Structure 1
Amino acid sequence: MYRAYVRQLAMSKKEAKLKVVVFLGSTREGRMGDRVAKFVTKYLESTNHDVHLIDPVQLKLPLLEKPLFFYPDQSKAPKVLQETDKLIQDADAFVVVSCEYNHSIPPALANTLDHFAPPHFAWRPSGIVTYSPGQFGGMRCAMQLRCMLGELGCLSVSNIFGIPKVHEALDEEGKPLNDYMKTGINTLVTQLDWHATAMKRQREAVGVPPPPKPV
């Protein structure tokens, strides 16, 4: 009943599809992240979301030297930064898909997020999906991501979808191999939809507070 209520909100004639940007964290050779990203994006698409995947392997941003907001005239910034920033600003919610690198946030993921200003992420919710070949499912990275996403202004929903033994949970095409995958993603997206719908309505009704002034 609860999920049906959330879907009813998202499918309302007065509201368009929720726009979700999915960030993929890993760039390592042989990464399992491709499987998880396929699974997440397919599920979101099947549940009436407009989905855009941001993959650092495809994005190929340099090691951070000059973020977008350092350009006095942002129209002169590299096109990849402008286009990615627009996706971020247009989003209603974010999902971060990440493994652990040395029990921490992958540097390519942090590097991608750091190229863009926190106000462009703010006032939208985020969901965290982590994975590992071991039994902890990337939870140490998830705890650090929760802090980072909160500082960007896109607070994560309470549920974290951790995927242990990811190589046994999904095939190469992102097809789930156990029932936990289906219930886990459903719980996360149900929470994400509720918050995203509520925040979207509030943004449209009253706007958002201005960003704090530098101190």
Structure 2
Amino acid sequence: MGNRILVFYGSYRSDRMGIRLAHFVVDGFRARGDDVELIDAKAVDLPMLDRMYKEHPKGQAPERLETLAGKIRGADGFVFVTGEYNWGIQPGLKNLTDHFLEEWFWRPAAIASYSAGRFSGARAALAWHGTLSEMGMVVISSSLAVGPIAQTLTEEGKPTAEGGGKGLAHAFPRFAEDLSWWMEAAKMQRARKPPPY
């Protein structure tokens, strides 16, 4: 197997269009030989942040937090699939992310954004860039931006023949190579020298 990648998706809406992009990303990395898991914030269903994982006594965190903390620590890199809500980021995904801190450190992250319109979630991607950097991740320069999502991906997450599907399929290899390069670099550096904190 290749790299261990967690793909995070955060919409809580009943009609979730962004899941198409999450499936596209998961399928794309799996086709490259990576070990990929979709982490759906709605399925994990963490409560609104009261205590971070690290604020629980060792071994006493709720099982959902303990399990997810282990998955995050074991990952080589992350992809955040995000929609845009009123120029901002999805609260469900942000809430899940905020439950952890040190678990994210020293690994790269990539952002794939989407919207129903032509802006493709670009403003949410910009907001996520600073947030993920602050949480100790190296955010790669390549990104995916999809919009309008309903015309770009089918319900199964396959690029459409018309709309933006062809462009998305063309953009994915560079996005994947960029993240893979940083995952390999981070793994080698962690093996060579322990992180400074």
Band of TM-score, shorter chain: over 0.9
Q: Structure 2 CA distance, aligned partners of 1:130 and 1:20?
A: 17
Q: Which runs of 5+ in 1 are unaligned?
A: 1-15, 211-215
Equivalence map 1:169-188=2 (5 Å): 169-177=152-160, 178-188=165-175
Equivalent residue, structure 1, for 2:44: 59
Residue range with higher mean Cα deviation, 85-94 or 178-187: 178-187
Matched, 1:125 2:108: yes
TM-score (norm: length of structure 1): 0.87
Equivalent residue, structure 1, for 2:6: 21
Equivalent residue, structure 2, for 1:70: 55
The one-letter code of the counterpart of 2:53 is L
**Deviation for aligned residue 1:153:** 1.0
SS of 1:58 mapped into structure 2: helix
Equivalent pair of 1:146/1:155 in contact (CA under 8 Å): no
Equivalent pair of 1:139/1:162 in contact (CA under 8 Å): yes
Matched, 1:196 2:189: no
TM-score (norm: length of structure 2): 0.95
**Deviation for aligned residue 1:67:** 1.4
- How many residue pairs get aligned? The number is 193
**Deviation for aligned residue 1:72:** 2.3
Q: Structure 1 CA distance, aligned partners of 2:55 and 2:174?
A: 38
Q: Structure 1 CA distance, aligned partners of 2:86 and 2:62?
A: 31
Segments of 4+ moved more than 2 angstroms = none
**Deviation for aligned residue 1:33:** 1.6
Q: Which runs of 5+ in 2 are unaligned?
A: none
Q: Structure 2 CA distance, aligned partners of 1:28 and 1:39?
A: 19
Q: What is the CA deviation profile of residues 2-35 of structure 1, one whole-angstrom value per residue up to 9, with x for unaligned ones?
A: xxxxxxxxxxxxxx52110111021112011211
Q: Structure 1 CA distance, aligned partners of 2:10 and 2:129?
A: 14
SS of 2:137 mapped into structure 1: coil
Q: Which has the larger radius of gyration?
A: 1
Q: What is the CA deviation profile of residues 29-62 of structure 1, one whole-angstrom value per residue up to 9, with x for unaligned ones?
A: 2011211111110111110111111111110111
Higher strand share: 2
Instruction: Say what the alpha-carbon RMSD is for the aligned residues.
Output: 1.0
Q: Structure 2 CA distance, aligned partners of 1:91 and 1:204?
A: 15
The one-letter code of the counterpart of 1:92 is D
Equivalent pair of 1:67/1:114 in contact (CA under 8 Å): yes
Equivalence map 1:31-180=2 (5 Å): 31-73=16-58, 75-117=59-101, 119-177=102-160, 178-180=165-167
